[in-house]
Amino acid sequence: MSEFPKSARVVIIGGGAVGASALFHLAKAGWTDCILIEKNELTAGSTWHAAGNVPTFSTSWSIMNMQRYSTELYSGLAQEVDYPMNYHMTGSIRLGHSKERMQEFERAKGMGQYQGMDLNILGLDEIKNKYPFIETHDLKGALYDPSDGDIDPAQLTQALAKGARDLGSEIIRFCSATGVSRKNDEWIIHTTKGDIRCEYVVNAAGYYAQRIGEWFIPYGGRTVPMMVMSHQYLLFEEVEAIKDWSTEMQHKLPLLRDVDSSYYLRQEKFGFNLGPYERTCRAHWAQPDDPMPEDFSFQLYPDDLDRLEWYIEDALARVPLLGEAGVSKVINGPIPYAPDGLPLIGPMPGVPNAFEACVFTFGIAQAGGAGKVLSEWLIEGETEWDMWSCDPRRYTNYTDHDYCVAKGMEIYGHEYAMHFPCHEWPAGRNKKLSPAHDQIVKKGGQMGAYNGWERANWFAHSTDDISEKTTQTWERNGPWEQRIKEECYAVRDEVGVLDLPGFSRFDIEGKGTAAWLRGRIAGSLPKIGRLNLAYFADTRGRILTEMSIIRHSEEKFTLITAASAQWHDWEIINKASSLNISVTDTTEKLSTLIVTGPKSRNLLEKIGTDADLYLPWLSHHKAKVCGKPCHLMRVSFAGELGWEIHTDVENISTLYKKISDAGAKPFGMWALNSLRIEKGYRAWKGDLSTDYSLLEAGLSRFIKFDKKEGFPGKAALEIERQHGSKKQFVSLIVEAGKCDAPYMSTLWKNDQIVGETTSGAWGYRTNSSIALGMIRSDLASAGTEIEIEIFGDRHKATVQPEGSIWDPMNERLRA
């Protein structure tokens, strides 16, 4: 028996498929001094009872990347590590009952083609040809993925584990982690067999991840945002007709997903496996009378089939052959869920050298890609693909227990739901409210959640149909369209007001602050009394984040960033605190009103202010508005004359009433999105992400190559500048029809893929559909005509001159 190790570079807690994949990928990258500890046998948690489906489908670009990588890895893993595996690449048929579902499939097909996947749309005859036992009379079509299939979860985990061991990594089974402590900038992992010192620790504990996460709270952590669902699937006895067909065809039936009815049906040997995601779902370990046990290894919940009755009947009608078999076994086990159904992969918020790879709802499909992503994050500090969709820092302090349970049940019950652009999910709302919230709702505000903050998306009239049914569309037309137009016109012709709670803001001051900031941003700092945009790059010159920098004095600044970026950007800025620079998060203390439009100056004068409203664009100063102390910044994301009014939270309600009573028209986030796209203003984690460099994103004017201070990514950007960027940011006017281009729509030229959109919307001031995107550099010249694929149809689009489509000389901003 080998001696228990005392130290390692990385300790991974949790021996499921994800933990084993992380260990394997670290070892492949040369980090072999890593240890995985598991309190029982490998696969004892959710991996043990997982169905083992391996889809590539997603409408998230990063999740599709991750799942595609998994299929590519698994197809050659048995040979690579010399371990036998049952991996069946059967293909899958995803059934569509409606025009809207087929549009979703068309979008996924375009994304998959861009990633090199062979997704196809099937007609009814083609469905029947691939799956002869199906009833198709009520279908519109299907999406076919030849790379889909299923794998034995235990064999997958053991193969990954063998590969890691063969490369020199260590796995310790039947060894429970009992806690952590920190000493001399190292972690000490306490276990039932002894302590292990390590540089990095990874929480890959599956449905126990929240319990493990509590150990890190004394070191800056938080409660892991998750809950646990009961998921059942049924195994059916052998069916003679399936046996005969499979024997003759020499392969299994494609995996069938009836996504509108919400279940999957796959061939299991010569029988069936039916897995519903039912609306009448059940959370486990969510109430005091149902506590999580200390150990649930290799255990299941009791059967609970009553809630599956409708889904079983629907599957029997879809594939009548299913009725010839009895149920041989019911699997009912725990599946962890994050509030948006996506896993947590990346840095543990607030905790040094701690990472998460947990809360995987589809852990088998995503394990391969997750191991790749996590190993990159540990070794390089950055990932090949932008992984904000899975970054643990995407949640902040609003994810309490009730929220996580409500959202988890909502996601599970709508696992295959279409995420329409104008639909808002109702669970877990009103976590953070502006003081003006009641006024806004009374005025017809239709609210959306932004990092937990409630903001108005648009303002409805009393006669508008605001039912959920109206939002079940990909088209721009809806009761909101006329209202958004009116809001945009008010900002264009008069004055509008937008209540904007939740801006992330950090005050930073002290000796050396200016020098520290200059060494972090690509460009220059503003002068005292001025503000500007600044970009932080990673070592590759890719866009880490964008912040507005407001300079108060030589060494005192306020940095403002997106609401969703609060914890992400805090980790960037808080690094200055190690140099005795004061860094304070004032997000909760202050809030913002945007007052913008050609008559905004007149309105502010009318309601009473001692502000100098003729200071130039991009200036700021302290003043009183209606007797309330405010900080006015002359800037407008809408691209019109205007100000951001920043003030203490308690002043917002009074100011909002005074401004709206004086004639400012309330407008919402959807109007703001339309207005900013017309100006070519980029949005974080759409147009601005680590998928793109600053030069690709058209941000060269924010890079100061000749400043004496270096900054992260400077060397990479200098090389790119010398050799030229392969792709370039452009604005496009699109002959779009009823739908505007969604994120990651494919750009085509001469039947070749030449780029992708990063955002799109209708511009009401320009009366045109506009897309922002990345295109092959040789096609980035103004006037170039290309095509954009929007839900399966290609539409003519024309590259616009560099700069803004609306008010290209910024005359309205500077008025």
Per-residue pLDDT at 2 exceeds 80 = no
Q: How confident is the model at residue 459 (pLDDT cuts 50, 70, 90)?
A: very high
Whether the Cβ atoms of residue 37 and residue 120 lie closer than 8 Å to each other: no
C-beta neighbour count of 751 within 10 angstroms: 7
- Buried-state track 642-673, b at ≥16 Cβ within 10 A, e below 16: bbbbbbeeebbbbbbebbbebebbbbbbbbbb
Pairing of strands 227-236, 283-284: antiparallel
The closest of 641, 680, 694 to 758, measured between CA atoms, is: 680
* CB-neighbour burial class of residue 30 (10 A; exposed 0-12, middle 13-18, buried 19+): exposed
| Full DSSP string of 288-311 | TTSPPPS--TT--PPP-GGGGHHH
Distance of CA 643 to the CA centre of its chain: 30
Q: Give the pair of three-digit tokens for residue 620.
A: 């700021």
> CB neighbours of 61 closer than 8 A, spacing ≥ 6?
111, 385, 743, 744
- Buried-state track 92-107, b at ≥16 Cβ within 10 A, e below 16: bbbbbeeebbbbbbbb
DSSP character at residue 802: S
> CB neighbours of 798 closer than 8 A, spacing ≥ 6?
732, 733, 783, 784, 785, 786
C-beta neighbour count of 148 within 10 angstroms: 27
Distance CA 306, CA 109 (A): 36
Q: How far is CA 254 from CA 89, 119, 140, in A?
A: 9, 14, 18
Bridge partners (DSSP) listed for residue 345: 357
The closest of 650, 651, 666, 493 to 594, measured between CA atoms, is: 666
Q: What is the pLDDT of residues 516-553, one digit of tens each?
A: 999 999 999 999 999 999 999 999 999 999 999 999 99
Q: Give the pair of three-digit tokens for residue 465.
A: 């149909």
Whether the Cβ atoms of residue 593 and residue 644 lie closer than 8 Å to each other: yes
- DSSP three-state, residue 636: coil
Which residue type does 665 have? K
Q: What is the pLDDT of residues 154-197, one digit of tens each?
A: 999 999 999 999 999 999 999 999 999 999 999 999 999 999 99
> CB neighbours of 26 closer than 8 A, spacing ≥ 6?
10, 32, 34, 164, 169, 375, 378, 379
Q: What percent of the chain has pLDDT over 90?
A: 99
Average pLDDT (599-628) is 98
Distance CA 522, CA 59 (A): 33
Which residue type does 786 have? I
pLDDT at 434: 98
Distance CA 12, CA 23 (A): 8
Distance CA 460, CA 480 (A): 7
Average pLDDT (281-286) is 96
Q: How confident is the model at residue 1 (pLDDT cuts 50, 70, 90)?
A: very low
* Pure H helices in 269-390: 309-318, 363-380
Distance CA 574, CA 582 (A): 9
Which residue type does 271 have? G
Per-residue pLDDT at 579 exceeds 90 = yes
Residue for token digits 């005091």?
Answer: 288
Bridge partners (DSSP) listed for residue 189: 180, 196
Bridge partners (DSSP) listed for residue 188: 181, 197
DSSP character at residue 639: S
DSSP character at residue 542: B
* CB-neighbour burial class of residue 466 (10 A; exposed 0-12, middle 13-18, buried 19+): middle
Bridge partners (DSSP) listed for residue 775: 728, 755
- For 757, list phi and psi in degrees, rounded to 5: -80, 155
Whether the Cβ atoms of residue 666 and residue 498 lie closer than 8 Å to each other: yes
Q: What is the pLDDT of residues 647-681, one digit of tens each?
A: 999 999 999 999 999 999 999 999 999 999 999 99
Provide the strand spans (E) within 237-352: 255-258, 263-268, 271-276, 283-284, 327-337, 344-347
DSSP character at residue 4: P
Which residue type does 476 have? R
Q: What is the pLDDT of residues 372-416, one digit of tens each?
A: 999 999 999 999 999 999 999 999 999 999 999 999 999 999 999
| Full DSSP string of 643-703 | EEEEEEGGGHHHHHHHHHHTTPEE--HHHHHHHHHHTT---BTTTBSTTSBTTTTT-GGG-
| Full DSSP string of 128-169 | HHH-TT---TT--EEEEETT--EE-HHHHHHHHHHHHHHTT-
The CB-based long-range contact list for 534-537 (8 Å cut-off, 24+ gap) reads 534/702, 535/694, 535/699, 535/702, 535/703, 536/572, 536/712, 537/693, 537/694, 537/711, 537/712, 537/713, 537/714, 537/717
The closest of 114, 126, 5, 117 to 57, measured between CA atoms, is: 117
Q: What is the mean pLDDT of the chain?
A: 97
Q: What is the pLDDT of residues 82-119, one digit of tens each?
A: 999 999 999 999 999 999 999 999 999 999 999 999 99
Q: What is the pLDDT of residues 219-260, one digit of tens each?
A: 999 999 999 999 999 999 999 999 999 999 999 999 999 999
H or E stretch including 24? Answer: helix 17-28
Q: How far is CA 123 from CA 106, 473, 510, in A?
A: 13, 22, 66
Q: What is the pLDDT of residues 705-745, one digit of tens each?
A: 999 889 999 999 999 999 999 999 999 999 999 999 999 99
Distance CA 672, CA 690 (A): 24
Rg of the chain (C-alpha set)? 27
pLDDT at 60: 94
* CB-neighbour burial class of residue 701 (10 A; exposed 0-12, middle 13-18, buried 19+): exposed
